[in-house]
Homo-oligomer: A and B are copies of this chain.
Amino acid sequence: MIVIQSRDNPLVKRVHALSTSGRERRKQGLTVLDGAHLVAAALDAGVGVCQLVVSESGLASEEHQALIARLDRLCPQATLPDKLFAHVSGLDTPSGLLALMATPALGAPVATVAQSVVVLDGVQDAGNLGTLLRTAAAAGIQHAWLTEGCAQAWSPRVLRAGMGAHFLMKVYERVDAVSLLADFPGPVMATVLGARSQSLYAVDLAAPTAWLFGAEGRGLSPALLARATCHVHIPMPGAIESLNVAAAAAICLFEQVRQQG
């Protein structure tokens, strides 16, 4: 494995740029998977990686050694001193192993998919977005439509919170959900506050559903909300104003799991 010592090395510059710049990721069509769990999840899902980078102290980990062996002769590998590794990783707590992968080119989403879809509108918080994808994947949902205002789905922080969800789903970005939903064949469900809507627990969720979740604070855009064919609320015994969007989504998506189970 090659050992790199300099910040001026082209690979170091490239990984740093991909870790820290959404524009670079889009331009190069690549992203950074930080951590053995994410890299293993990608490989398990049949997603290839094109460069492995390990920190010097990261070499001592058995989990990392297993990945190094698994990727032997499949992609180039490099070791960096810990300080240089921390420099190229965009994350606060670098894991000691990362890989580059090509972000999937999905084409346009299809409105008439016969499965449930999560539609995420303007979710800018990376942790919330990743958690939403992770929860949706756990609920067996395979399609996510992200509107223009969402955080970049393939950023390292969203990937980390997603814990491998990205490899199990088709995550479409910059989707014109308002147009697409006009042709969605099933119910389009919006969670709203207040009592002028049905209780989540009183709604029949047997059919494939498009679930709309908006940014915290602002909620769904009016144009998207107008596409909803059903407004539901989550009954809340406590005096709190609202739920975190990822918590609300977990409750909704797993109520559907329960009903379909």
Chain A interfacial positions (CB closer than 8 Å to B): 127, 131, 134-141, 161, 163-165, 168, 199, 201, 234-244, 246-251, 254-255, 257-258, 261
Q: Which of B135, B234, B236, B242 contacts A244 (CB 8 A)?
A: B135
Q: Given that A238-B140, A247-B247 are known contacts, is A258 also in contact with B201, CB under 8 Å in the complex?
A: yes
Contacts of A136 in B (CB 8 A): 238
Q: How many copies does the complex hold?
A: 2
Complex Cα–Cα for A136 and B261 (A): 25
Q: Is the CB of B247 within 8 A of A235?
A: no
Contacts of A199 in B (CB 8 A): 261
Which residues from B are CB-within-8-Å of A250? 243, 247-248, 250-251
**Whole-angstrom distance between the alpha carbons of A113 and B154 in the complex?**
46
Q: Note all chain B residues with C-beta closer than 8 A to A236.
A: 138-140, 257
Cα distance A199–B131 when bound, in Å? 22
A1–chain B nearest beta-carbon distance, Å? 28
